[in-house]
A and B are shown apart, each in its own frame.
Chain A
Amino acid sequence: MKKIIFILLISINIAYSQGGGGQMFVIEDPAVLSLKFPLQVGAEWTAKSDSNITIVKEVIGRETLTINGNDYDCLKVSTDHSIVGNNEITRWHHSWIAKEGLIKTMFYIVYTSNNNGVIDTITGIDEIILTDIDLK
């Protein structure tokens, strides 16, 4: 059972990585407010809201990340996804945004199942971190 859930989670993860429902071209109407300016600690906005999903973002802090000897002064943006009918899965997403762009993201997904009193917890963590940058 655990193996099946594990494979399922990997599949979900790869599906996310590959664009979910295939290589679809999706027009956002209205457009999604990915980042709201001025971006600063305390800023909060709704990036998208419809009958299926509401995405709320908030700048929850300021952190300096050091990568390859370079310091990036970042704002930490938290994204809250609330998806209708998806109560067993908890997920959240943090992005570290600097003036140079996206420096790091972390995406957590926690799936909890109760099989006759046996609680299984599966956690998936996606981390994307900058290794090199070339700004024109």
Chain B
Amino acid sequence: MKKITLILFALIFISISACKKDEANTPTGLVITAYPTTIGSEWRYKKTITHIVNNDTSLFNYSRVLTIEKDSTINGTDVVKYTTIGSEMSGSSASFKRQTSQGIYTHANFGVSDADLYFLPNSNSSTK
């Protein structure tokens, strides 16, 4: 009986030690507290639209470029203009955003359907 109790205690001790070791190896969580807002920054993207109608699949490929263009003001609030040019559109679209310690706020959009459906200012530029 003593042996069994001893073995049980040993198993519990080993389990606790293993758990502590796992906790120590857990990577620190990623925390993002700012987003790039420097004028002149540029992101290039490939856009692929896939349509599946029952078993038929069609693919459409486009490209788009997102640029932080300039500072601006919307109703007295200083904002930064994110402009997007896409290959499937005739013009460009823009989103006017402000960064605070609480987050990124979108104050206005030009050429974007539902505000913020995409974080990107939606846009134009595509090549089939």
A120 touches B54 (CB 8 A): yes
On chain A, the residues within 8 Å of B110 by CB distance are 19, 23-26
Judged by a CB distance under 8 angstroms, whether A18 is at the interface is yes
* Interface flags, A22-63, vs B, CB<8A=1, else 0: 111111110111111111110001011000010100000010
A128 touches B46 (CB 8 A): yes
Within 8 A of B (CB), among A116-134: 120-134
Give the residue of A34, A38, A101, A133 whose beta carbon is less than 8 angstroms from that of B31: A38
Judged by a CB distance under 8 angstroms, whether A85 is at the interface is no
A40 touches B112 (CB 8 A): no
B97 touches A19 (CB 8 A): no
A123 touches B103 (CB 8 A): no
Closest to B126 in A: A17
- Expressed in whole angstroms, the Cα–Cα distance for A17 and B120 within the complex equals 11
B interface residues (Cβ-Cβ under 8 A, vs A): 29-36, 38-54, 58, 62-64, 66, 74-75, 77, 86, 88-89, 91, 93, 97-98, 101-120, 122-124, 126
